Amino acid sequence: MEQDKDTTLQQIAEKALTNSIVRIKTETNIPCLTLRPQLNLSRIISTHGSGFFIDKHLIVTNFHVIVGVSSVTIEQSGQEETLKIESVEAYDEENDLILLTVDCEGIPLKLGDSNTVHNDDEICAVGYPEEASEIEQGFVRSIWRRSSGDLICLSTQSSGGGSGSAILNSVGEVIGVKSAAGVDDSGNVICGYAIPSNIVKELQQSRTESVPYEAWCDLPQVLCLAEIDAAEKFRKDGDYNEAIAHYDIAIGLIPDKKKAIKGRAGVKFELAYFNEAMTDNISLRKLDFVPFRFSNLRESMSWRWTMLKLYGFRLLLNLFVSITGRRFWLSGNATSNSRKAKKAIDEGKLRDVRSYCQNAINLFSEVIDLKEETSIIYNSRAWVRYLLGQLESQQGNTDHAVNCYQNALDDIDAAFKLKPKLPRVRSACFHTRGAAKAALDKHEAAIEDFNESIRLKPKKALYYHDRGLSKQALGQHEAAEADFVKAKELDPEIED
């Protein structure tokens, strides 16, 4: 009986793939506003998602799949021609849903009652993760209660392209729309999240007037959300100045958009623009103004007390910067990010390594742009670039890794041009250059640099360890073993 039910659900899912599920391919052209704007440079991002018919011409997918894209292509299995979006019927930014009218008919899937969903219920995710059609069976792990609307946590593990997939129950009814994936520290997908079908029903019933798709894309609120999305992409990559430029546009479009103001404040804080960051935080708080009335005396006084603290904090931060300078904060923040990256690599938690590295590189670059360049700063940026190269190499991105190592060598060249005098700084520079050369398989040259770093700082275990690795790569096993023993003697906790 159980096998018959599984077979029936499999058949329903296969039929849905043919008649009801669509593949959505998008391309986003994000202009680079601060990098030589006269050249009109841009970042092009290609992504894909899924969607499905809930009426003859009506498709539901995730809002984040559509917003801000420069071009979109919708394909249906067995159809030679692509589907054209004619209009936007409704959208819900908070619940990540959008309803689109297309020019071709499809067979709608039946929306079930998501209020009847319970933990351990069998489900089936149907969509186009990784651009290939997939039917993935699983179960409901839990229901997350939120003020904006519940989320269904699923055992399914499909990632890229899974957004917008239909989540079917055991009788083939849609009980959710796949929206996001949960990942562990290493970046592996461990679960999925879906927007309940009843929220889709509410959105469908709340439709008022459809808006032609091109006109919808040009609406100020949509353009604002697209700029916020672009800003957050740049922020994630550590490109803070680009992020600020896009947040500025978003706020120019919708001045009271809290998400944009909060995002810009966070980025400016990272860059030690404390006065501007606190001004944004004050503006954010002003949007929640509480008028003075005896009926809400406590809330009114609490709001005013918070405003007073924000003004006071802004004054203290300005005093801090006037005494220490921006360099102090930027260097400390960059060093913190580089340490987090190294720790994450050592612990195998690769999910945030790239972000930590990019943040550190860009913050060290900010210090250099202040014309306060030192050998230490160049070496620190070189070391982070080396770490990023290690990550790229582990993930098979050989060309990117080589580029990172070469950039690290360029930074060390710049460091030596400044003629560092302190032995600890010179030894660190020699070691970083040796590590980058070793990563490029230039082990003989690397050993020469490691020799210098050991001569300048003979009690640093890492220098012996890394020299041993290069000797081992050259087949000098006895000499390598001697270095490993010495490293262990100096630091018993160093990796074997």
CATH number of the domain to which 158 belongs: 2.40.10.120
Q: How far is CA 215 from CA 67, 96, 125, 220, in A?
A: 13, 20, 33, 10
Same domain for 253 and 154: no
Same domain for 203 and 64: yes
Contact 182, 193 (CB under 8 A): yes
**Beta-bridge mates of residue 143:** 152
CATH code, domain with 264: 1.25.40.10
Same domain for 379 and 312: no
Same domain for 166 and 248: no
| Residue where one domain finishes, among candidates 324, 355, 375 | 324
Assigned domain for 486 exists: no
Same domain for 278 and 242: yes
**Beta-bridge mates of residue 27:** 46, 71
Contact 124, 18 (CB under 8 A): no
Per-residue pLDDT tens digits for 214-236: 999 999 999 999 999 999 999 98
Rounded-to-integer distance, Cα 403 and Cα 2, Å: 55
**Beta-bridge mates of residue 61:** 98
Assigned domain for 251 exists: yes
Rounded-to-integer distance, Cα 193 and Cα 176, Å: 9
Same domain for 354 and 315: no
Rounded-to-integer distance, Cα 478 and Cα 496, Å: 15
Q: How confident is the model at residue 157, as a pLDDT?
A: 67
Query: Which of 21, 22, 33, 65 shows the shortest CA–CA distance to 46?
Result: 65
Assigned domain for 409 exists: yes
Assigned domain for 463 exists: no
Q: How confident is the model at residue 1, as a pLDDT?
A: 42
**Which residue carries 């560092």 as its tokens?**
420
Same domain for 263 and 313: yes
**Beta-bridge mates of residue 177:** 166, 195
Same domain for 432 and 417: yes
pTM above 0.85, yes or no: no
Element of type H or E holding 459: none
Assigned domain for 472 exists: no
Q: How confident is the model at residue 37, as a pLDDT?
A: 60
Same domain for 352 and 302: no
| Residues of the domain holding 81 | 2-211
Same domain for 447 and 344: yes
Q: How many domains does the chain have?
A: 3
Residue 90 buriedness (CB in 10 A; 0-12 / 13-18 / 19+): buried
Contact 471, 480 (CB under 8 A): yes
Assigned domain for 494 exists: no
**Beta-bridge mates of residue 182:** 191
| Residue where one domain finishes, among candidates 324, 346, 365 | 324
Same domain for 375 and 283: no
Sheet with 42-55, edge to edge strand ranges? 71-76, 21-31, 42-55, 58-61, 97-102, 85-92, 211-212
Same domain for 333 and 248: no
Contact 200, 54 (CB under 8 A): yes
Assigned domain for 20 exists: yes
Assigned domain for 169 exists: yes
Q: How confident is the model at residue 2, as a pLDDT?
A: 47
**319-320-326 Cα angle (round to 5):** 115
| Residue where one domain finishes, among candidates 174, 192, 211 | 211
pLDDT tens, residue order, the chain (496 aa): 444 455 577 888 888 888 899 999 999 988 888 866 656 678 888 888 999 999 999 999 999 999 999 999 999 887 778 899 999 999 999 999 999 999 988 999 999 999 998 898 888 889 887 767 788 888 888 888 877 778 888 887 665 568 899 999 988 899 999 987 766 555 566 578 899 999 999 999 988 889 999 999 999 999 999 999 999 999 988 888 899 999 999 999 999 999 999 999 999 998 889 999 999 999 999 999 998 888 888 899 999 999 999 999 999 988 988 888 888 889 999 999 999 888 888 777 777 788 889 889 999 998 998 877 789 999 999 999 999 999 999 888 999 999 999 999 999 999 999 999 999 999 999 999 999 999 999 999 999 999 999 999 999 999 999 999 999 999 999 999 999 999 999 999 887 6
Strands 189-196, 71-76: pairing is unpaired
Residue 383 CA from chain centroid, whole number: 23
Please provide the size of the chain in residues: 496
Rounded-to-integer distance, Cα 383 and Cα 434, Å: 11
